[in-house]
Amino acid sequence: MMRTRPLKVALLGCGVVGSEVARIMTTHADDLTARIGAPVELAGIAVRRPGRVRAGVPEELVTTDATALVKREDIDVVVEVIGGIEPARTLITTAFEHGASVVSANKALLAQDGAALHAAAEQHGVDLYYEAAVAGAIPLVRPLRESLAGDKVNRVLGIVNGTTNFILDKMDSSGAGYSEALDEATALGYAEADPTADVEGFDAAAKAAILAGIAFHTRVRLDDVYREGMTEVTAADFASAKQMGCTIKLLAICERAADGRSVTARVHPAMIPLTHPLASVREAYNAVFIEADAAGQLMFYGPGAGGSPTASAVLGDLVAVCRNKVAGTTGPGESAYTRLPVSTMGEVVTRYHISLDVADKPGVLAQVATVFAEHGVSIDTVRQQGKDGEASLVVVTHRAADAALSATVEALRKLDTVRGVASIMRVEGE
């Protein structure tokens, strides 16, 4: 039987994503009603600058008093797309206190305070959904949280930032330098005026924290995620990658240790074989590769940002939360029963590609090989090129711990025959 009283929704934020959410709620109202089992009504839109509200947004619903909006007793669901830590955190907890469920796209807040927000939602008997916080329109959070709930996820490897993937893709396909590729990304609207959050890996690190927590049923905060940006990646790195049959991607990597006693979460540029599915992800697209015991290897691919794709994820959560309201229940909350510790980057084991500038004279290779051996790092391949007394030495290792590799590099810098370390790149996906 259809419920006649409408479910009322408060929208916090009306920018690119928020305005698209409002548009879809208005134009698809009949379909949403049929899918939910009750009418759904946009009851208020909180913004900071009412003069900037986009065309098509009902002006009579706009307010600058977000606190008063979320405190309204008739509000059933709050959709938060304003981003940042405050006032979003206070508004969300206030909504919980007044009996409203929350749909959020706020990756930074969830990565920092997800545990506290989940606890508050559980205390007040409401939902907290956030599919749009990771990888835009790609269904990822719900499959990890629900579809794979009976499986054991061992690894999540993904491209979760469209800006960085666009830049690296252009560097790979055209031979452009980082600055040129960034300028093109900015001109096309893929990069913000200040791209720091993207190119330095902050955005991807927040998403990695969320994915690791869900995948491994443990609490992973943003501070637990090792982060390295991609601004130092050069055309020479791509040339080296091509010689190895690889390309370079900025990857978010979440792994369960082989003994199952800890997890790691990290974001950094890495060489990845051209045979790996992630290597073919082009332009500003996102993709996440999941490895699980029973399901095996799964690939999720699609647009990772933008108004319409992100709004699609928001609306999916809105339908799920509203259905729960109609049924008088709540969906799955936080699952952190494993309480696994998060290992440091020094304990991570992977392969490495190291490019050294060395003197072009006899005995250099033997000296370098000795340093690697002394630190327990096994060499897979070596390539040397020399001219006019200078040379480059490219070393690819077998799998080694990051701490051992770091100690090796420090020792190499002390050799008189080593002029400098041109680059260090991890090799993943093998």
pTM: 0.94
pLDDT at 69: 98
User: At 339, is the pLDDT very low, low, confident or very high (cuts 50, 70, 90)?
Assistant: very high
Residue range 267-284, pLDDT digits in tens: 999 999 999 999 999 999
Residue 225's nearest CA partner among 354, 107, 104, 80 is 107
As a whole number of angstroms, the distance between CA 378 and CA 196 comes to 36
| β-bridge partners, 426 | 270, 352
User: At 391, is the pLDDT very low, low, confident or very high (cuts 50, 70, 90)?
Assistant: confident
pLDDT at 202: 97
- Token duo for residue 45: 């839109």
pLDDT at 387: 63
- Kindly state the average pLDDT of the residues 97-105: 98
User: At 430, is the pLDDT very low, low, confident or very high (cuts 50, 70, 90)?
Assistant: confident
Residue 390 confidence (pLDDT) above 80: no
Tell me, yes or no, if 207 is annotated catalytic.
yes
Catalytic: which of 107, 170, 207, 249? 207
Residue 96 confidence (pLDDT) above 70: yes
pLDDT at 304: 83
- Token duo for residue 192: 């913000």
DSSP-derived secondary structure for 24-49: HHHHTHHHHHHHHTS-EEEEEEE-S-
Question: Which sign does the torsion angle of CA 215, 218, 221, 224 carry?
Answer: negative
Share of the chain above pLDDT 90, in %: 89
- CA of residue 413 relative to chain centroid, distance: 34
Distant-in-sequence, close-in-space partners of 210: CB < 8 Å, separation ≥ 6: 107, 110, 111, 114, 130, 133, 134, 141
Query: Strands 128-129 and 101-104, how do they pair?
Result: parallel
- Token duo for residue 71: 């405190």
The residue whose two tokens read 């049929």 is: 34
Residue 25 confidence (pLDDT) above 70: yes
pLDDT at 346: 95
Residue 162's nearest CA partner among 142, 125, 188 is 188
As a whole number of angstroms, the distance between CA 96 and CA 228 comes to 35
Q: How does the average pLDDT of the chain come out, rounded?
A: 94
- Kindly state the average pLDDT of the residues 295-321: 94
Total Cβ atoms within 10 A of residue 416: 8
pLDDT at 138: 94
Residue 191 confidence (pLDDT) above 70: yes
DSSP-derived secondary structure for 251-305: EEEEEE-TTSS-EEEEEEEEEEETTSGGGG--TTEEEEEEEETTTEEEEEEEE-S
Residue 205's nearest CA partner among 221, 220, 227, 233 is 227
Q: What is the helix (H) or strand (E) element at residue 61, kind and residue range?
A: none
As a whole number of angstroms, the distance between CA 87 and CA 64 comes to 13
Cα angle: 5, vertex 125, 119; to 5 degrees:
145
User: At 2, is the pLDDT very low, low, confident or very high (cuts 50, 70, 90)?
Assistant: low
The residue whose two tokens read 């500003």 is: 284
Residue 73 confidence (pLDDT) above 90: yes
Residue 213 confidence (pLDDT) above 70: yes
Instruction: Name the CA dihedral angle for 26, 140, 205, 243, rounded to a multiple of 10 degrees.
Output: -120
Task: With beta carbons less than 8 A apart as the criterion, state whether 377 and 408 touch.
Answer: yes
Query: Strands 379-387 and 400-401, how do they pair?
Result: unpaired
Amino acid at the residue 1: M
Tell me phi and psi for residue 53, to 5 degrees: -65, 135
User: At 357, is the pLDDT very low, low, confident or very high (cuts 50, 70, 90)?
Assistant: very high
